[in-house]
Structure 1
Amino acid sequence: MSQHTPIGLDNSTANVTALTHSGNFHVDETLGYVILHYALAPDGDLIHRVLGDAAPDRLTFIRTRSPETIKTADIVFDVGGVFDPTHGRYDHHMRDKPLRADGTPYSAAGLLWEDYGKAAIRNILAAPADDTVIASIWKTIDKSLILPVDQDDNGVAKMGKLSLADIVSACSPPWDTAELYGPEEARLREGRGFANAAAAVASHLVNMIDRARASLKAADRVMAAYEQAEDKRILVMDTGMPTEKMIFEHDLPVVYVVSPAGPDQWNVKAIPPTRGEFGQRVSLPAAWGGLERQALATVSGVQDAVFAHPARFICGAQSREGAVRMARLALEIDSEMKRSNAQ
């Protein structure tokens, strides 16, 4: 990382507008927002700022894909196609993406952690800490949390899921709470910790039941779409929903799933060889990887092509027809390549 003073840390009162993409969200941009919250405006309302109904503070947070709005934001992460920390740009989806010293690609969270992590730690800690302690904490979190997020978001290694027991345990006050704050405060914090844990467990249970309901509904729709498919290798879904469970449980020969990703975009997602793992039964064409819009349209011949991920597991077009065309072209290119290699 280059040496510079990150935007917002040079002036503790200046207003800052941070922006990431709208639509489907993942752990890296969600964590990225949390890092910026604690680094720049820890006293603000983390939840209601996202909802847009919080009392104004120095950090404004926007989720959009509008190129015009992206240009005006002070900090842009996980979108925009530019990595330039000196100007507040923290995307990582380019062909020449930023890498860690060991070669691991950064995610947006990893890039923001480099610049804002220590400031976030200082604001989170209840008591002041010297630079050595901050650096040690930063390194520990980088290894245990940020690096796995980087690996997961870039298709290097999948994160393990936190157990509910771990989440509940994390709600408990640290062992030295009584030592730091006294027995009465420790008792109060233990009560608040239990309340927080109960809320987390209740939310988890409700969500799990609702997801189970939705999974049953998705199963019927996936099988209906498969029965109607002209090419059984391409599954076209009119609504985004989980599909891998049915594909692997029924040993369906699906290679690509085409589904809407918003009002003006349809994605083509490659199915992995084994459920839940990275990799693809058939990767998207190498020539497409990392390209966007006109560059991708020129190479692919699909005029409304939007993007193709550098890892070649997902691409998209503005229309259903364009996305289906990309899936068909990818299969044709793969077949031609295999024939050439066999000769």
Structure 2
Amino acid sequence: MSEYTPIGLDNGNQPVKALTHSGNFHVDETLGYVILHYALAPAGDLRGRVLGTAPQDRLIFSRSRVPAQIQEADIVFDVGGIHAPPKGRYDHHMRDKPLRDDGIPFSAAGLLWKDYGLAAIRNILPNDLDEATLAAIWQAVDKSLIIPVDQDDNGVVKMGRLSLADIVSACSPPWDTAELYGADMAQQKETEGFANAAQAVASHLRNSIDRTRASLKATDRVLSAHKQAEDKRILLMDTGMPTEKVIFEHNLPVVYVVSPAGSAQWNVKAIPPVRGDFGQRVSLPDAWAGLEGQALAQVSGVADAKFAHPARFICGAASREGALEMARRALEIDAALNQTP
């Protein structure tokens, strides 16, 4: 992260003029604008600021290729031909372009995320989080969202169909807009397109940051629950949350996850052999498959058993104790079937 104080983050309230290029827009400068919005003026009107319909706030944003306007701006990104972050210059289109430590070239979004990402996260997440957690969120979002944007914008790896890059591109007016409506209307539609793209990207960034926060919280809880488990093959969670990612990232020997699924049901879910794959490390007993209610209770020996999916990857009971008993019995049945004569 930054080794200097980026422009506008000195705890002052002075207006900051930020500028990117006009014309065709892409995901990196759109995301760059969104990062600056949340870092410097999160209470402002993100879309209205672009359209010029919102009251002026601290962040004054414009899109232009006019040299005099570029020179006048405090922060210039994705245009201008200069990479000098301490001076507020965040272009990356020069021959000697800025690179990450691993050699991946930065986009404007990546450069701005490096300097303004933490401030944006602090303003997006209302809760007081410690610096270590903020740094972990910054790193995770950098990996999952910012690096793919860097790669896409620099022609390294495309983000793919229906990606954030595609959503931004879809906000651009069609190629023949000027031909159909005239130059002035085409420029207006382009500005509206950028405003629409910024709104979509802002929603995605907010959700990505909040989901990353929740994912880190889930990691702590899963690891704690696994540490306390009597049988390390059965993970008991008192609240429903994503567990599979943590199980595979930390190589936990979990076979079944037991967790609540509403006010009167606890489920037993089998973990697949490979993350995101079909199949199970240990399938639920074949004799349970497709049974419900009393029929399942009789076969399983668990009085409040409620259902077992025909594909044998999930079953449930009315109580925590019943679900735990189903998991234990499923493991016992599997062990008996696989005993060496």
TM-score under structure 1 length normalisation: 0.48
TM-score under structure 2 length normalisation: 0.48
The structure showing larger relative contact order (alpha-carbon pairs under 8 Å, at least 6 residues apart) is: 2
